[in-house]
Structure 1
Amino acid sequence: MYTAVLIKGKTYAVMGHVFLVNQVKGIEKKVFQYLDGNEFFACKEVKAPVDDSKTDDQPKEDDKPVKEEEEPQQEQKTYTETELKGMNKTEQEAIIIDLGGDPSQLKDKSERIAFILDHQQQQEKTGE
């Protein structure tokens, strides 16, 4: 498994991945090979534990702190329609991914904005 972190800039889209600054993302080997050496990224190869039978619970625990660190960066920002209209496509797609959507399923800017606004309302209702 490989990971990449955008260390310069705000967003970066490549090979179907949208990176936000300081956000750790798991990537495939071909994306790792493409980004490794790019001054905008810190890339790592993450080795799986050697003996999974003795450490079944440990990998799950190791994953939790990473998720907890990422969530506060993604929470608490509610975008207005005006803010969303002022954003470029890459910024909108990054928000869609954070909301659990697939930007490739949305045809244009108005669909992206509608998706974001709708999902923000749903999250407010469910308290997420």
Structure 2
Amino acid sequence: MYTAVLIKGKTYSVMGHVFHLNQEKEIEKKVFQYLDGNDFFACKEVKAPADDSKTDDEPKEDEEPAKEEEEPQQEQKIYTETELKGMNKTEQEAIVIDLGGDPTQLKDKSERIAFILEQQQEKTGE
């Protein structure tokens, strides 16, 4: 089991989850992998009780190589201006955060969209 807590910002929407500041949510493994390392979140894996871990040891070993294979596949989605215009503020702010920005520094929708497009261009140009 995995949990995540939004520690910066007001709200964050990702993969069907809406996070509110300082509220812990139980999340799936793929959401954990996506958010782990994001400065706006405190993520943790909640260990199973000792009795269960003995029976789960073998599958966990099998899962680890799969986890390594999944991470490179989780590349940043490239959003078009049209897609971004169709999103609500929370969704746009979540993308800004994913790209390392601070949504509170962006005044309105047009600035959020411009920031996202600029950051995507920089990342794909590297």
TM-score calculated relative to the size of structure 2: 0.52
SS of equivalent residue, structure 1 residue 4: strand
Match of 1:12 among 18, 22, 25: 18
How far apart, in 2, do the equivalents of 1:105 and 1:68 lie? 36
- Counterpart check, 1:23 vs 2:24: no
Does 2:124 match 1:124? Answer: yes
- Relative to structure 1, is the Cα distance of residues 84 and 101 closer, same or farther in structure 2, using a 3 angstrom cutoff? same
State the Cα RMSD in Å. 3.7
Q: Establish whether residue 72 from structure 1 lines up as the match of residue 78 from structure 2.
A: no
Greater fraction of residues in helix: 2
Q: Which runs of 5+ in 1 are unaligned?
A: 33-42, 47-64
Instruction: Give 1:1-128 correspondences, 5 Å limit.
Output: 3-4=3-4, 10-15=16-21, 22-24=30-32, 25=35, 27=41, 44-45=45-46, 69=70, 72-75=73-76, 77-126=77-126
Tell me the equivalent position of 1:39.
none
Take 2:67 and 2:93, find their aligned partners in 1: how far apart are those partners?
22
- For 2:117, give the aligned amino acid: L
SS of 2:113's equivalent in the other structure is helix
Query: Equivalents in 2 of 1:103, 1:68: separation in Å?
Result: 32
Q: What is the match of residue 8 of structure 2?
A: none
* Deviation readout 1:39-85 (Å, 9 max, x if unpaired): xxxx7557xxxxxxxxxxxxxxxxxx97975563342x211111100
Question: How high is the sequence identity, in percent, across the aligned residues?
Answer: 54
- Matched length: 89
Task: Report if aligned partners of 1:23, 1:70 keep a CA contact under 8 Å in 2.
Answer: no
Gaps of 5+ in 2: 6-14, 48-65
CA contact (8 A) 1:74 1:98 kept: no
TM-score by length of structure 1 reads 0.51
